[in-house]
Amino acid sequence: MMISTKITAAVALLGFSIMVQAAPGIDLIANETPLHTPPSPEAIAKIPANYHFVEPGTFTAAVTLIGSAPPFGLYARDNKTVIGSEADIARLVADSLGLKLKLVPAAWEDWPLGVTSGKYDAAFFNITVTKERKTKFDFATYRQDNIAFYVKSDSKITSMTHAPDIAGKRILVGSGTNQEAILLAWDKENRAKGLAPFEPLYVTDDAAATLAIQSGRADAIFAPNATSAYKAKLTGKIKLVGLVPGGWPKTADIAVTLKKGTGLVNAVQAALNNTIANGTYLQVLDRWGEEAEKIDHSQINPPGLGD
């Protein structure tokens, strides 16, 4: 997971109330209605006979702490029902496995121990597959890990996908992130060719980033695509001008994360492929603005960052 901005709880809650009233591309009220899929006999058959779920008959899934990074985790209007793209994917997996679903909002720091200790059956946390993580966990992929350039909706910038595109631009980026590393590498290439340097703008507040883009103080923002795509579809005030693989120059994947060696990953992969085949998977991505990150099939423990 590589989040380039930090959203305060207050800003997130305020933003949610505004979004419900005016959402040209995402209907948060409609998205409170759970999406379901029929049980998959193939997936159910792959549940290991010796696997013990945290609660019998229930799939216990850790999900992103509410309000930390929409669209991954939000509360519905009742301020207690968990909604969001990660919750929706977890529900489709549970349905496919013929199980009830229990969602447990948790902090990013909590999921690794929670999965290894058996507190959770799985974690849905926008977790990127990496070489190091594969030594401790099993993964079943469900989304591409892309980062992206977004600009103001009426900006004259139409494409930012290669190093020369950032020359002379003022770009919002999170300090210490993979996005920053890519920009610095591109900037080094550009300077060697005599191109103008870019100007990194560092912010830690989502509201400040939005103001910088809308006021023209920043030309673009370079951040995880899923969070920016959500804002673009929700408000119509920013637009996508370039996708970059999260493992640039290699691709990277987001995956359901499970305790290593239990065998449950095979059932989860089959569950995900069931939802991809019947179209419910794409319904989830479409309603949260994540369609640009769709996959054709789920993979188990694919090459990750560092491989």
The percent of residues above 90 in pLDDT, for the chain, comes to 77
Residue 87 pLDDT greater than 90, yes or no: yes
What span, in angstroms and rounded, lies between the C-alpha atoms of 117 and 195? 52
Q: Can you count the helices (H) and strands (E) in the chain? A: 9, 12
The bridge status of strand 122-124 relative to strand 58-64 is parallel
At residue 200, φ and ψ (nearest 5 deg) are -75, 135
What is residue 128's DSSP assignment?
Answer: B
CA–CA–CA angle 58, 124, 50 (5° rounding): 40
Confidence of residue 64 (pLDDT cuts 50, 70, 90): confident
Predicted TM-score of the model (pTM): 0.84
Region 100-116: mean pLDDT is: 95
What span, in angstroms and rounded, lies between the C-alpha atoms of 215 and 209? 10
**pLDDT tens digits, one per residue of 205-234:** 778 899 999 999 999 999 989 989 999 998
Structural domains in the chain, sorted by start: 34-145+251-293 (3.40.190.10), 146-245 (3.40.190.10)
Residue 20 pLDDT greater than 60, yes or no: no
Confidence of residue 67 (pLDDT cuts 50, 70, 90): low
Region 250-268: mean pLDDT is: 96
Region 234-252: mean pLDDT is: 91
Residue 257 pLDDT greater than 60, yes or no: yes
Q: Could you tell me how many residues make up the chain?
A: 307
The confidence score (pLDDT) of residue 119 equals 98
Peptide bond into 249 cis (omega under 30): yes
**pLDDT tens digits, one per residue of 31-57:** 999 999 999 999 999 999 999 999 999
Confidence of residue 68 (pLDDT cuts 50, 70, 90): low
Peptide bond into 71 cis (omega under 30): yes
Bridge partners, 297 (sequence order): none
**pLDDT tens digits, one per residue of 180-205:** 989 999 999 999 999 999 999 998 77
Q: How far is CA 251 from CA 52, 222, 223, 244, 293, in A?
A: 34, 17, 16, 9, 11
